[in-house]
Amino acid sequence: MTGFLYFLGNTLRWPALKTREFISLHAYLLVIYLITYILSQNGINQANLVFTLGILAPLLISIGQGLPVDCLDYKTALAKELEGN
């Protein structure tokens, strides 16, 4: 439960602390949704594939660029956050 509350708190603070990242992520997601909608309206069968790859691409790129495997471990994340202050 503590880990869930920690990440919930980070999620609520993120738009205020890093507004540019927040807006760019949501703009990207909106573009993926629009592309998927346009493809599905035009009868292209691979619209679901485009959507899936578009949503997973940022995560896969982050992992490829060195996203730590323990990024969802709240104890490690909390230690790094407290160490940075």
On whether residue 55 sits in a domain, the answer given is yes
On whether residue 19 sits in a domain, the answer given is yes
Dihedral in degrees, nearest 10, Cα atoms 14, 80, 59, 12: -20
* Structural tokens at position 30: 């909106």
- Contact by Cβ (8 Å): 74, 6: yes
- Average pLDDT for residues 73-83, to the nearest whole number? 75
pLDDT tens for 24-55 read 989 999 999 999 999 999 988 888 899 999 99
User: Count of domains in the chain?
Assistant: 1
- Average pLDDT for residues 1-6, to the nearest whole number? 72
Reported confidence tier of residue 79, pLDDT bands at 50, 70, 90 = confident
Amino acid at 23: I
On whether residue 84 sits in a domain, the answer given is no
On whether residue 63 sits in a domain, the answer given is yes
On whether residue 85 sits in a domain, the answer given is no
pTM: 0.68
On whether residue 29 sits in a domain, the answer given is yes
Q: Can you give the pLDDT at residue 84?
A: 65
